[in-house]
Amino acid sequence: MSPISPCPPVSTGPTARNVFALAWPMTIKAIFLHGTVVIDTYLVAALGETSLAAVGLAAAIAGFALGAIQAFSSAMQIRTAQAFGTGNQVFLKSALASGMVVNLAVGVLGLLAILVFGAPLINALAPSTEVATLARSYLGIFLLVILGEAVGQCISSYLNGCGETKVPLYSLCLSVPVNILTSVALIHGYWGLPALGVSGAAIGSVVAVAVQVSFLGVRLIIAAGHLRHIAGWRENGFPRSLLRHLGFALPIAATFLSAAISTQVCALIYVRMDLSDFAALTLIAPWIQVTGTIGMQWAIATGIIVAQLLGQGCEAARLQHFLSRAWRASFVASAGVALLLLILCLSADMLYSNLSLQTRDIVLAFLPIVILLPFPKGSNAICGNTLRASGDTIYVMNLFVAAQWLFRVPVTAIAVIWLDLGAVLVLSIQLWEEIIKFPAFHRRILSGKWKNRSW
């Protein structure tokens, strides 16, 4: 299961090819994962701006819970990589059990929060009664996806940390076609099924996640079933192991959770914009996430290998040699992201012909921003994941949280609510956020402290 061998000399250590072997399955899997919303928005776009706005509003609210699940899953992925690098089976067992308990707890809490606050929030934010009604209908069904993702993301993170990144990809290869076929049939009422509109898109997502989790559960039993027979826990009993896991995971989870919440807060602020501006941002945001996973998953794969190397006790020279090669290759990944977004913007008239000309013109005007954004974002991601792998989680958390809540969210609110700026200037705030983080991240990496693990 290991993508790298125990510490050989620097000249034969892991290279960008090892990162690619881990990254490409995670990239495609992440694209499919973000593609749940992309698929729904694309299929619903044929119903017009009102249905599209409803899905965007409901997805923004559900995104809080999904973001929390993804946040703790990302922490578990790094923890698993550390455990796998040491070869300690008790450590692996503790990471898996602790991660599953945490993910289920987060999923249930998110579900309860949406049940209590979801409908009032939709009613307060929806630009019209029709949008509110459709959004409540979509969200009420989509809640089941949250529980499925709590389990599925935990299993995927464990397998990724062990280097088995293809298995989560296979699960998405099964579920995405199911999502598309079910959603199309139920949205439009094909093959004798009822035409449910936006509710049909939500049902398609629920069926798809059920298929995905079933497959992952079987593969987990095959890959990690032997851990049931491993005696003991990394700490003195499971409660202490769980607390130790939480102590490591919370700063990482807080970083990802803060990013998810700030993104969803900004998405809710966008509701205050003109309908065409809001629709354009609703369209481009999932595409930025989907294409951005190319650079992001490269950075995550880099972090996994760094964590495994640190677990093996590798020397600083080998760590630096590996990171330099992985970093250079990340710029190629960023160029690929920029190219994909270029094609998307230029193809807006063809892809979204059912939307108004004004909405399509705004998407085209996003072009300069989306071409530049992947480069600082990708480099910052390499820095962040490397620092997390070494245990420098507090610094990464502080930097991300400060940039999000002291810059992106308040500036977005000012731009939309008080200055009434257009969608292009509002989207540019994301680029400026990455530029602001750039010096602090790179100074920390260049200091070399990350080469000494602190976990």
- pLDDT score at 13: 60
Q: Do 382 and 329 form a contact (C-beta atoms < 8 A)? A: no
Please tell me what DSSP assigns to residue 164: -
Q: If DSSP codes are grouped into helix, strand and coil, which group holds residue 32?
A: helix
Express each pLDDT in 107-160 by its tens digit: 999 889 988 888 888 888 777 888 888 888 888 888 899 999 999 999 998 998
Neighbours of 17 (CB within 10 A): 9
Residues near 356 by Cβ (< 8 Å), separated by ≥ 6? Answer: 49, 276
What is the average pLDDT value for the chain, to the nearest integer? 83
Express each pLDDT in 364-420 by its tens digit: 888 889 889 999 998 999 998 888 888 788 898 899 999 999 999 999 999 988 988
Asked whether the predicted pLDDT for residue 345 surpasses 90, the reply is no
Using a cut of 0.75, tell me whether the model's pTM lies above it: no
Please tell me what DSSP assigns to residue 196: -
Distances in Å between the Cα of 202 and the Cα atoms of 179, 208, 232 are: 9, 10, 42
- pLDDT score at 263: 81
Asked whether the predicted pLDDT for residue 25 surpasses 80, the reply is no
Sole residue written with tokens 């049940």: 115
The mean per-residue pLDDT over the stretch 5-25 comes to 63
Neighbours of 231 (CB within 10 A): 7
Cα(109)–Cα(151) distance, integer angstroms: 14
Q: How far is CA 217 from the centre of its chain?
A: 21
Residues near 218 by Cβ (< 8 Å), separated by ≥ 6? Answer: none
Asked whether the predicted pLDDT for residue 100 surpasses 90, the reply is yes
| pLDDT range class, residue 251, cuts 50, 70, 90 | confident
Our CA angle for 133, 135, 137, nearest 5°, is 70
| pLDDT range class, residue 71, cuts 50, 70, 90 | confident
Task: Identify which has the larger pLDDT, 296 or 413.
Answer: 413
| pLDDT range class, residue 5, cuts 50, 70, 90 | very low
- pLDDT score at 305: 85
Out of 10-24, 246-260, 268-282, 369-383, which region has the weakest mean confidence (pLDDT)? Answer: 10-24
Asked whether the predicted pLDDT for residue 182 surpasses 50, the reply is yes
Q: Do 67 and 246 form a contact (C-beta atoms < 8 A)? A: no
- pLDDT score at 36: 58
Neighbours of 116 (CB within 10 A): 10
- pLDDT score at 35: 56
Asked whether the predicted pLDDT for residue 2 surpasses 50, the reply is no
| Residue 298 identity | W
